[in-house]
Amino acid sequence: MTDAQAPDEADFGPNQWLVDQMYRRYLDNDSQLSPSWREFFATYEPNELTGTGAGQTIVTDNGQATRAAPHAPAPAAAPPSQRPTATSSPLQGSGEDVSAMRGASATIAERMEASKDLPTATSVRTMPAKLLMVNRRILNNQLARLDQGTKVSFTHLIGWATVKALETRPAMNAAFRLIDGQPHLVRFDNINLGLAVDMARKDGTRTLLVPNIKQVDEMDFYTYWRAYEELIGRVRANKITPDDFAHTTVTLTNPGTVGTIQSVPRLMPDQGLIVGVGAISYPPEYEAADAAVLAQNGVGRILTMTSTYDHRIIQGAESGLFLQMIHRLLLGEDDFYDEIFRSMKIPYVPARWAQDRNPPPGSRPWAEKQARVFQLINNYRVRGHLIADLDPLRQDPPEIHAELDPLTYGLTIWDLDRDFATGGLAGQTVLDLGTILGVLRDAYGRTIGIEYMHIQEPDQQAWIQDHVEKPRRPLDEAEKRNIYAKLHQAEAFERFLHTKFLGAKRFSLEGAEGFIPLMDAVLNEAADAGMSGVGVGMAHRGRLNVLANVVGKDLAQMFREFAGIEDNRSTGFSGDVKYHLGADGTHRSPLGNDIDVTVAANPSHLEAVDPVLEGIVRARQDELGPGADDMMMPVLIHGDAAFSGQGVVAETLNLSQLHGYYTGGTVHIVINNQVGFTTTADEARSSFYATDIAKAVQAPIFHVNGDDPEAVVRVARLAFQFRQAFHKDVVIDLICYRRLGHNEGDEPSFTQPKMYNLIKSLGTVREIYLERLLNRGEVTPEQIAEIEQSYQAKLEAAFKASKIGEPTLHGADYDAYAADPSTTVDEGILQSIGKQLATLPEGFTVHPKLVKTLNDRAELFESGKVDWALAEALAMGSLSLEGHRIRLAGEDSQRGTFSHRHAVLVDYETEEDWSPLEHLGEDQAPIDIVDSLLSEFAAMGFEYGYSVEAPDALVMWEAQFGDFVNGAQVIIDQFLMSGADKWEQGSSLTLLLPHGFEGQGPEHSSARMERFLNNAAEDNVRIAVPSTPAQYFHLLRRQVLHTKRLPLIIFTPKSLLRTKASFSDLEALHERELGLALPDPRVGPGARRVVMCAGKIYYDLLAKQPDDVAVVRVEQLYPFPSDALETILEPYGDAELVWVQEEPGNMGAWRYMSRALFVEIGRSSRGIYRAPSASPATGNFSTHVKEQARLVELAFE
């Protein structure tokens, strides 16, 4: 303490006894005192009364004001020996025990004697304490949930109200002083609030200390609260210093803590005000009253406060207005409680003062009030999430939604202790309103907010209410340690990568570390429920963390990928960035149960993996058989901006309850960073929540604050249990933040400076949770050290192994050069299938218009011919009998877009369906013909995923028209055509794309053959344009029987479906194999020109073909059939080669064929095609006819 700060004797007020006592100890042996006391007494003179203290304004009796200099001299007070005193002697025989007062007692007595000279007056005011009590309870409930270990007392709040009232009535913060014999008014620039602290001595007597909080008027409530607690803590620990007593301007004393109703405390010299606080209690006449009667009649506790002031400088009206202001503040005026809640970071609004209106029980108004309680309960179930504490950043001030405000329903703080019917809330029929609100806020308004009342099924609503409105089992210490371990793994993994691979992109999970215990909890639940596997689909954010800490991917391998060490890969493998790669692993729950986990590979196209993962899981479930939805579960991880912004999310959600796509319910987890790259939520969506789209399928949505990991785990368990109970989708909205930018090299504060200032001030989720655990005594520092050291050792060992271990050997699981298999089928089997296709169950009524179609098909088969639909059915049926599952999905696939297939028949009278292909034999593999939702992206993505997981099945996706295939372009480009090259993820998906120019316009003519051919490389796909049903039959069978699994793109016919010239002999199915190119059966050597073509135009050319021009059909465009074409073209020698196509010159196969003919077989060629065009085809039928005729004419001229 410096001289400039040294307190004066006059400043100590009632604490002077302590100063005198400490001074005597200083004189006796100064080593007994702390350095601060020794420094003070080094210049202390007991009889010297000096100064007014800095920061004071002195007003003389003539009204002139001057600033006080530090330690301005003041007249000494008369010593006690010179003051008039009353004396008496002990009464003889009275039994009195008389002893002289010494030390602290004597000093206090002297100060009280001195205070008698002060002309004081006292104002008294009694005020209701109900609102004070309610808001204190709200504050302390929240502090208890945050495990602060401290509470806000009534004195804290009353003291703060005193400070705020003094700010509005500054005349109360003053003192009277005689300087040079003249009266002066001292106005204090700041409020130094003295706190009268009653202290028990070792001998059982009590004494008083009055330390003060300096400059309390410059604090907010939180700072004042901490300063108050710190000061009282030092008093009780005997660590108080002289400076703590100096310069008190106003004193607060609270004898109410021992039950005193009202007190008129003594005012000390050099202060103008002391505030007394009485007990908070019922008026005496109600102390024995029944609590229910008091509540019914609106009788509440009261508080009496006194203002004892120096009447020389403060008048009665000023004191009365001061107490009036405290009264107003304690009733919530001037945002008193709002400011306290904001300062304490309470994420709720305070209770409000309101007049009580309580109608007589049984009256109509009473019944209406009860009805409004029911309405309030229902609205909390519907809207409670709107007041939940969900944002870890707390960017927006808390608000109370009108439908959740009891005042909206005429319910006030006076109703909190009154009983109301609940309708079964929390399993109770009657509860008081305070308990009702507590249950509702605990269920729906804390760090978990639930949206579920949009669900139409009452049993699902009741299930959620039963699980969240009743008291829940607290997590045990082992579960909490496991949560901490997962948080530590999540954080330590990211920091390790940052340290070892500085600057490498990893799309960090930092800020959302709670996701790892969330995933851990979901997988633990699944494993303990006896599930065999979980499929996971997610984008890049946090993917590496999941692979390392949830799936169990080899850390050494991961570190090799960061270091750029290449694995031994199969020829032609290009690979992908590490945060796109898939993985398989095994997760073990704390109970020791294992479950297989597959993370699907994904591109950077956010959400594109969603339907793919669903298809993968459905394929596994189909393999497992009945009850498989309880054995295999999909989990999809989303980003907030992507979940609301990407249309494939809505498409995938719409798959969830469809029979052909059902997977028993998906657990969706949205890692809600509250920003999409640089786009804020307000700019990223029109919906309130990122998850609102999920309401379309009536999925419950659990919003949870990512900084409350225990709530996160509870939500994970609830979501899984709901999925298991109702086998439908459920959504977890993990609201968190992104500590870094979009990637580690990005600067996010360019676009979100306020958000990132908040983020910088926050501790990590792990740090916050660790502090709570330690405060609650639920973990020891030794346990924490063991958890952290164990994981660090694991990381270091893996890093060391990554430098010396052998890379994993990867290779293809098929023979890249395998020959085409035989695709013929025994005639007897074909006959059996054909017969069954024409057989209907007894009593089945075929649509009258369909009878002739089916009869004509049967007659055609009997004549030894097959059309396109029959050839397809024979291919599917024969493969099924050979044990291969068949799955065909498309928007109209059961009937066929062109009413040609009729694989599933519908009874004309009952609408029951019949699929002949499903009744070929007891041992056949399943055949599923699925009418899909109106989607290309999700529908094709699902079939792609299915084909990845079911390589031995014939999986087909059919476009309504081939033109619409570009609605799934992301699936085609990022998965189908490149998945094997990037991820070694093989697929045998077959696309059936109706294609052909028939005057139907630009959206019903072209499947954009050129796009597939541009993507064809490294034998990554098969692309075919069959010209006969037999060729189509063999293509489908080869797709399944070939050992080399590749996607197959078939440009299927439209008008040819009913063109008899294209029909095949049945013999071609059981005697001949697939022809990659078909020679001209009529024109042999000597032709002047060889016209090559593919698909429908062959039949247009055939109708006009002269004898000197050969027409050759190229049935497989890719891989290019070099050998077949060389064999066919050899007899024609140097005849001109011409490629004819219906498409414009910048589309179709021309550019591909021109190059392939030259590069592969050394032949130049000429193209005949429609004029290059931005649009595929004309919309005018007459123009189409002329263009088509001109193509044929040019081919032969």
The tens digit of pLDDT for each residue in 538-570 reads 887 788 888 889 888 888 888 887 777 655 444
Same-fold call for 119-343 versus 820-1074: no
Say whether pLDDT at 42 is over 80: no
Work out whether strand 1048-1052 and strand 1022-1024 pair parallel, antiparallel, or are unpaired.
parallel
Tell me the HSE value of 1039 on the side-chain side, using a 13 A CA sphere: 35
The DSSP call for residue 550 is I
Domain 119-343 CATH (choose: 3.30.559.10, 3.30.1120.10, 3.90.1640.10, 2.60.40.10) = 3.30.559.10
Which CATH superfamily does the domain covering 477-804 fall into?
Thiamin diphosphate (ThDP)-binding fold, Pyr/PP domains (3.40.50.970)
Domain ranges of the chain: 119-343, 364-446, 477-804, 820-1074, 1078-1197
pLDDT digits (tens, 9 = 90+) for 1156-1166: 999 999 999 99
pLDDT over 70 for what percent of the chain?
87
Q: Which region among 100-104, 884-888, 1082-1086 has the lowest average model confidence (pLDDT)?
A: 100-104
Predicted TM-score (pTM) of the model is: 0.88
pLDDT digits (tens, 9 = 90+) for 130-172: 999 999 999 999 888 876 668 999 999 999 999 999 999 999 9
Mind listing the pLDDT tens digit for each residue in 997-1009? 999 999 999 999 9
When comparing pLDDT for 576 and 930, which is higher?
930
pLDDT-based confidence at 91, cuts 50/70/90? very low
Task: Write the CATH number of the domain with boundaries 820-1074.
Answer: 3.40.50.12470
Compute the distance between CA of residue 50 and CA of residue 345 in angstroms, rounded to an integer. 44
What does the DSSP assignment read for 353-377?
------PPTTSHHHHHHHHHHHHHH
Give residue 66's pLDDT.
Answer: 52
Look at phi and psi of residue 995 and say left if phi exceeds 0, alpha if psi is from -120 to 50, else beta: beta
pLDDT in tens, 321-334: 999 999 999 999 99
pLDDT of residue 79: 44
Query: How much is the average pLDDT of 714-727?
Result: 97
Residue 16: the pLDDT is 61
- pLDDT confidence of residue 831: 96
- What pLDDT score was predicted for residue 302? 95
Q: Which residue has the tokens 């459920």?
A: 730
> Tens digit of pLDDT for each residue in 239-277?
888 888 889 999 999 988 788 888 888 888 889 999 999
Q: How far apart are CA 1090 and CA 1083, in angstroms?
A: 9
Q: How confident is the model at residue 410 (pLDDT cuts 50, 70, 90)?
A: very high
- Model confidence at 398, pLDDT cuts 50, 70, 90, reads confident
Q: Assess contact for 575 and 569: CB atoms under 8 A.
A: yes
Q: Active-site residue 311, yes or no?
A: yes
- Helices 1150-1161 and 1122-1129 meet at what angle, rounded to 10? 80
Task: With H, G, I as helix, E, B as strand and everything else as coil, classify residue 389.
Answer: coil
Please list the alpha-helical segments (H only) found in 805-867.
Answer: 827-837, 848-862
Q: What is the pLDDT of residue 335?
A: 96
Answer whether residue 87 shows pLDDT above 50: no
Residue 806: per-residue pLDDT? 58
Per DSSP, 519 falls in state H
* Mean pLDDT for the stretch of residues 743-757: 75
At 483 the three-state DSSP class reads helix
DSSP symbol at 471: P
Query: Please, what is the Cα angle at 139 between 137 and 145, to 5 degrees?
Result: 100
CATH assignment of 1078-1197, given 3.40.50.11610, 3.30.360.10, 3.30.1110.20, 3.30.2310.20? 3.40.50.11610
pLDDT band at 1090 (very low <50, low <70, confident <90, very high): very high
The token duo for 39 is 């420094």
Mean pLDDT of 702-723: 96
CA–CA distance, 378 with 714 (Å, rounded to integer) = 23
Could you report the per-residue pLDDT of 447-469, keeping only the tens digit for each? 999 999 999 999 999 999 999 99
Could you tell me which CATH number the domain at 364-446 has? 1.10.287.1150
Q: Which pLDDT value is given to residue 241?
A: 85
Are 20 and 153 in contact by the 8 Å Cβ rule? The answer is no
The pLDDT of residue 51: 37
Q: Say what the pLDDT of residue 1143 is.
A: 96
Q: For residues 774 and 770, what is the distance between their CA atoms, to the nearest angstrom?
A: 6
- Per-residue model confidence as pLDDT tens digits over 880-893: 999 999 999 999 99
Question: What pLDDT score does 50 carry?
Answer: 36
Residue-wise pLDDT for 477-508, tens only, equals 999 999 999 999 998 888 888 887 776 766 77
Residue 257: what pLDDT?
Answer: 79
Confidence band of 753 (pLDDT split at 50, 70, 90)? confident
What was the pLDDT predicted at 106?
A: 62
Question: Which among 71, 184, 311, 540 is annotated as catalytic?
Answer: 311
DSSP letters, 766-807, are: HHHHHHHHHHHT-S-HHHHHHHHHHHHHHHHHHHHHHHHSPP
Give the per-residue pLDDT at 75.
40
DSSP assignment of 698-753 equals T--EEEEETT-HHHHHHHHHHHHHHHHHH-S-EEEEEE---SS-SSTT--GGGT-H
How large is the angle between the packed helices 154-168 and 316-330, nearest 10 degrees?
A: 130
- Rounded to the nearest 10 degrees, the angle between the axes of helix 364-383 and helix 433-444 is 10
The mean of the pLDDT values for the chain is 88
DSSP 302-362: EEEEEEEEETTT--HHHHHHHHHHHHHHHTTGGGHHHHHHHHTT-SSPPP-------PPTT
- For the chain, the 3-state helix, strand and coil shares in percent, each to the nearest 5, are 45, 15, 40
Spatial CB neighbours of 959, under 8 Å, sequence gap ≥ 6: 890, 891, 936, 965, 991, 992, 993, 994, 1007
Q: What is the pLDDT of residues 922-959, one digit of tens each?
A: 999 999 999 999 999 999 999 999 999 999 999 999 99
User: What separation in angstroms does the CA of 956 have from each of 409, 493, 885, 993?
Assistant: 59, 42, 11, 10
Instruction: Please answer whether residues 581 and 982 qualify as being in contact, where contact means their C-beta atoms are separated by less than 8 angstroms.
Output: no
pLDDT for 737: 84
Alpha-carbon gap, residue 536 to 546, rounded angstroms: 10
Q: Indicate the range of 273-287, 451-465, 748-762, 789-803 predicted with least confidence.
A: 748-762
| pLDDT at residue 64 is higher than 60 | no
Q: Give the pLDDT confidence score for residue 3 in this predicted structure.
A: 36
The one-letter amino acid code at 892 reads: D
pLDDT of residue 70: 43
- Percent pLDDT > 90 in the chain is 68
Q: What one-letter code names the amino acid at 495?
A: R
Three-state helix/strand/coil letters over 52-78:
CCCCEEEECCCCCEEECCCCCECCCCC
Helices 103-115 and 16-28: crossing angle in degrees, nearest 10, is 140
How many other CB atoms are there within 10 angstroms of residue 835's CB atom? Answer: 13
Q: What are phi and psi of 432, to 5 degrees?
A: -75, 160
Encoded tokens for 620? 């596994």
Whether residue 2 is predicted with pLDDT greater than 50 in this model: the reply is: no
pLDDT at residue 74 greater than cutoff 70? no
Question: Phi-psi region for residue 810, left (φ > 0), alpha (ψ -120 to 50) or beta?
Answer: beta
Once rounded to an integer, what is the mean pLDDT over residues 1168-1177? 95
Give the N- to C-terminal CA distance of the chain in Å, as an integer.
Answer: 112
Report pLDDT for 729: 97
Structure tokens at 1055: 């008008």
Distance between CA atoms of residues 28 and 20, nearest Å: 12
Nearest of 593, 624, 540 to residue 949 by alpha carbon: 624
Is 110 within 8 Å of 101 (Cβ atoms)?
Answer: no
Q: Comparing C-alpha atoms, which of 1052, 1044, 1050 is closest to residue 1020?
A: 1044
For residues 93-97, average pLDDT: 57
Highest-pLDDT range among 60-64, 344-348, 420-424:
420-424
pLDDT at 1108 exceeding the cut of 90: yes
Please report which confidence band the pLDDT of residue 9 belongs to, taking 50, 70 and 90 as the band edges: very low
